[in-house]
Chains A and B, each alone.
Chain A
C-alpha cells in the first residue's frame, strides 16, 4: 500500500546570528492509510520540528528541505493558500497544550464551526449542528452547553477532547498528535489515549503520535520511530522495538520506563549525559558520547540506517543483537 503521508530526507535548519542550527537532519517516515505510527525521543530530538515543517508551521527564520508527500502530492514549500486546502481538513494536528491551543475569546462552538465553514462551505447553522455531533463523538458531557462556553471554563482534559474533536471535524486521513497527553494529568492521559484509539477504529484514519513517553506510544502505535539529535536512529514494529531494540539509545529509553515491580530502594534508571549541541558540526554518531558501547569508529564515522531482519532499521555500528 502506498503511504498516505511520507516524509523523505527532511531537514530543518534555523538561521541564527552564530550560524545555523540543524533541528532535523535528513529524517524519513512513512505512514500507510489507517496506520498509527509513533515517534519517540528526548526533548530537542527534532520530533516536533519535523512535523511542524510538514504542516507548514515553521517560523520566519527556519528553512526546510527534502520532501513531504500527503495523499500523493508534494506539500512541502506549498504556498499557504494551497496548503490550507488540506491543512485542517484532510491533514490535521492536535497540539501539546490544550490550555493554550484554543483561542481564549471565542466560544467553543464558534471555533469548531469556523473550521467547517472554511473547509466544507456549510452554513453556520449546519456547522453548529455538526460541531454538536462531534462533541458527542469525543464523549464530552453536556455538549450543548459546551458549545456556548469559553475555553477557560473547561478543564484540560475537556479542552483536549475539544481539540481532538476539532481535528476530526472534516474526517482527516491523517491526524498528527504532538504530545497530546503531556500537559494533562495521568488519569486524563489514559482517557485521551483511549479516545484516540476508538476514533481511529471508527474512522480508519492514520495517526502520527509524538511523545517522549514510550508507554503512551506503545499502547497505540503499530510502528515506532526513535529519533535522536534530529535523525531517525531506529524504526521497527512496536513489538519488535519493545522486545528487541538494537540501538543502545532505544534500549536506554526502554530501561528508563519505571518498573512497578522493582524493589523500592532501587535507583530510577536514567540516561547519563545531555543530547548534543545542535549548532556543532556533526562528526561520527551523535549518541556516541553517551553510549557505553561506543568505540573509536563511532566517534569518526556516522552510522547510516541499515536494514535488519523483520522490517527493522537501525543506525548503529554495533547494534545490540550483533
Chain B
C-alpha cells in the first residue's frame, strides 16, 4: 500500500508515532513500576521535589501524593477520553453526515439546520448542563464530549458523501436494486473512511485539550483519579513554590498533543495525494 510507504518515509510522523506509543506504554505499565499508590498520602514528603526520596521520581503534590503515578494515571485518562469521545463523535458524525448527504433535498436541509443550531450553543454550558443532569463519571464525560464533538465530523462526512453520491458506481448500485441503507453502509461509508480517519486523528488531540480544559474548570475527572487537565489545574496554583507540579503534567500534555498533531498531519499527507 503506497499510503503506508509514504507515511513511513515521513520521519516526523514516524517519530511522533513512536513517542505516542512510548507514552501509551509508560502510561499503561508505569504505575506498576512505582511502589506508590495513586491515592496514598505521604505526609513525610509533602510537595517534595523530584528525586529519589521515597521513590517520588517526579515529586509529590501538596497532599503528598506521588506525581509520577498521578501523571501517568492522568495520561491514561486523557488518552481514554480522547479515544472514546473521538470514537463516539466518529460514529454519530458518520451516520448523521452520510444519511444527510446521501438523501439530500429537504432531509439534508433540516438535518444541517439542526447541526447549525447545535453548534450555535456554547459548548461549555452544554457540557455543564449534561454533567449536572447525568452526574459526574468518566463514562458521562466520554459521552458528553463525544456528543458535542460530532458536529464538525458530520459536516465533513456530509460534504464527502455529496461528492460520492454523484459517482457512477452509486447509480449502478441503485440500478441493481440495492436499498438505501445498504448503499450508504456498503458503498458510501467505506469510501469516506480515508478522509474521515485523518480528521479523527486530528480530533483526538482537540478532545484531549478540551477535556483538560473542562477538568481545569473542575468539570472533568473525579478524585482520586486525575487527568492531565486536573493536574495542571492543581499545579498552576503552586506554580511559584513548586513549579514541577505544573511542569510534569504540562510536559506530558504538550508532548502528547504535539505528537498526535504531527502524526495526524503525516497521515493526511500520506493519504491525500492532492496536497503536495
Interface membership of A89, Cβ < 8 A:
yes
Report whether A103 and B187 are in contact in the complex, using a CB–CB cutoff of 8 Å: yes
Report whether B177 and A115 are in contact in the complex, using a CB–CB cutoff of 8 Å: yes
Report whether B172 and A95 are in contact in the complex, using a CB–CB cutoff of 8 Å: yes
Report whether B177 and A88 are in contact in the complex, using a CB–CB cutoff of 8 Å: yes
1/0 per residue, CB under 8 A from A, across B85-115: the answer is 0000000000000000000110000000000
Interface membership of A93, Cβ < 8 A:
yes
Interface membership of B5, Cβ < 8 A:
no
Interface membership of A155, Cβ < 8 A:
no
A86→B176 CA distance, assembly (Å): 9
A104→B186 CA distance, assembly (Å): 11
Within 8 A of B (CB), among A50-103: 55-57, 60, 80-81, 83-89, 92-93, 95-97, 100-103
If A60-B105, A106-B186 touch, does A100 touch B168 (CB 8 Å cutoff)?
yes
Report whether B176 and A87 are in contact in the complex, using a CB–CB cutoff of 8 Å: yes
Number of interface residues of A (CB under 8 A): 32
Report whether B172 and A102 are in contact in the complex, using a CB–CB cutoff of 8 Å: yes
Contacts of B180 in A (CB 8 A): 80
If A100-B168, A101-B169 touch, does A119 touch B177 (CB 8 Å cutoff)?
yes
Contacts of A163 in B (CB 8 A): 172
Interface membership of A139, Cβ < 8 A:
no
Report whether A88 and B169 are in contact in the complex, using a CB–CB cutoff of 8 Å: no
B3 to chain A, nearest CB (A): 14
> A104 is contacted by which of B174, B182, B191 (Cβ under 8 Å)?
B191
A117 to chain B, nearest CB (A): 10
Number of interface residues of B (CB under 8 A): 20
Interface membership of A16, Cβ < 8 A:
no
Interface membership of A114, Cβ < 8 A:
yes
Contacts of A57 in B (CB 8 A): 171, 174-175
Contacts of B190 in A (CB 8 A): 105-106
Interface membership of A152, Cβ < 8 A:
no
Report whether B105 and A118 are in contact in the complex, using a CB–CB cutoff of 8 Å: no
A87→B175 CA distance, assembly (Å): 6
Interface membership of B178, Cβ < 8 A:
yes
If A57-B174, A60-B104, A105-B191 touch, does A84 touch B169 (CB 8 Å cutoff)?
no
Report whether A101 and B176 are in contact in the complex, using a CB–CB cutoff of 8 Å: no
A188 to chain B, nearest CB (A): 19
> A166 is contacted by which of B167, B171, B176, B186 (Cβ under 8 Å)?
B176
If A60-B105, A106-B186 touch, does A95 touch B168 (CB 8 Å cutoff)?
yes
Interface membership of B173, Cβ < 8 A:
yes
Report whether B191 and A92 are in contact in the complex, using a CB–CB cutoff of 8 Å: no
Contacts of B186 in A (CB 8 A): 103, 106, 114
A104→B194 CA distance, assembly (Å): 13
Report whether A85 and B174 are in contact in the complex, using a CB–CB cutoff of 8 Å: no
Report whether B178 and A95 are in contact in the complex, using a CB–CB cutoff of 8 Å: no
If A95-B168, A100-B167, A103-B169 touch, does A88 touch B187 (CB 8 Å cutoff)?
no
Interface membership of B179, Cβ < 8 A:
yes
> A81 is contacted by which of B169, B176, B179, B191 (Cβ under 8 Å)?
B179
Please give me the 6 A-B residue pairs with the lowest Cβ-Cβ distance, nearest first: A88-B177, A88-B176, A100-B168, A84-B177, A101-B172, A87-B177
Q: Knowing that A95-B168, A103-B186 are A-B contacts, what are 12 other residue pairs whose CB atoms are under 8 Å apart, sorted by A's residue number?
A: A55-B175, A83-B177, A87-B174, A88-B177, A93-B175, A95-B175, A101-B168, A101-B169, A101-B171, A104-B191, A105-B191, A106-B190
13 contacts between A and B (CB under 8 A): A55-B175, A80-B180, A81-B179, A86-B177, A87-B175, A88-B175, A95-B171, A95-B172, A95-B175, A101-B168, A101-B171, A105-B191, A167-B176
